Amino acid sequence: MPSLDILGDDLKVTLTSGEIVRFAHLDYAASAPCVRAAADAVQDLLPRYGSVHRGTGVRSRGSTLAYELARDVVAEFVGARPGDAVIFTRNTTDALNLLARALPAGTTTVQFEGEHHANLLPWPNPLRLPLPSSVEDAVASLRRALESLDGPAVLTVTGASNVTGEVWPVRELAEVARAHGVRVIVDAAQLAPHAPVSLDDLGADYLAFSGHKLYAPFGAGVLAGRSDWLDAAGPYLAGGGASAVVGDRPGDLTWATGPARHEGGTPNLVGAVALAAVCEALTAADRTALHEHEQSLLAGLRDGLAGLPGVTEVSVFGPDHPRVGIVSLALDGHDPAVVARRLDTEHGIGVRAGQFCAHPLVRRLTGDDRTAACTAGVPGLLRVSFGLGSTAEETSRLAAGLRAVLRT
């Protein structure tokens, strides 16, 4: 079975005190560490890789096969249906921008203000709904919005918040969208690393996610879903691969159909193979056991943080709402950026401070409406995130380190 062991799990760092400790990486939501399955797949590929779809030699033929097999593995991972396309992109942002360009003209994009910028900024004709206070509020808000709209629309929503870790009620929202003939797009960047994702189970027409959140190296992402809009739209990147026939005159050309239409240029074979290897390993893993371990870490972290003065966990739907391994903290009287640096240098713990490319959401959660860049002294939160390979010792260290930093 492909290994989900974390590479670099034994990384050591020297603290300002001179002590050498094992680094505790608790910033998975930004980029998860690479797992052995991805590294093994890449190592096997490198001695024999070549151009994809561009040659008859053994290297090119083998690489083309590896690339298309990777597509098949990802299709299985997301539960792709007959007629669905799986397109390799650079990351979630790239995937959602691609889809935004493929929407039929005049489509209104309905979104909540709790979205990451990748799912907030690319869309034409956005209708931004206020942050809901409950699942029922989210459903009712969407229903009112769709009932008031004229013309085509789509709903785009996160699967799990990169700020609070809360799992959004995608299925409930999708049922409302379906009743109004509206397609559903899911940003699964934070959901896919923590839970199985299925287009049908979510009620989604499209899913997007990133390799670097899913324990693979940087540079590969996925857009999966219904192919009709994608085949009707112009190529995302015009060039070789996206073109089927190019005539002698400008504009005299025929674009490719299928995924090739939006994968112009030489594709990222190594990234696709690495990402598929992780998808295969996760598909074979006991996801229930992984979920239970993660929830145990989450409960232990919350217990360790309980009672710390001026430390408040933020949420949209309340503390009991289902969530993945992400916790963000408001620190009364402390700059999160300074606290994060001290956790690193004094305790060997890596976390994230700031607004996490979700500025409107963080402003609502902190109650601070100032707009400023994510630098020291501006509104922000401290985020702790974990996943495969994370341990109770690491979350306990975080709680103890935070306690020490806040009292000095």
Active-site residue list: 357
Of all helices (H) and strands (E), which one includes residue 157?
Answer: strand 153-158
Report the C-alpha gap between 199 and 202 in whole angstroms. Answer: 5
Report the C-alpha gap between 230 and 178 in whole angstroms. Answer: 20
The answer to whether the Cα torsion of 240, 243, 244, 248 is positive or negative is negative
Looking only at Cα atoms, what is the longest distance across the chain? 73
Strand (E) positions, 242-396?
A: 243-246, 253-255, 311-313, 326-331, 349-350, 352-354, 381-385
Those residues whose C-beta lies under 8 Å from the C-beta of residue 232, and which sit 6 or more positions away, are 102, 104
Those residues whose C-beta lies under 8 Å from the C-beta of residue 77, and which sit 6 or more positions away, are 197, 279, 280, 282, 283
Joined together, the tokens standing for residue 329 give 């903290």
| Pair 149, 182: CB distance under 8 Å | no
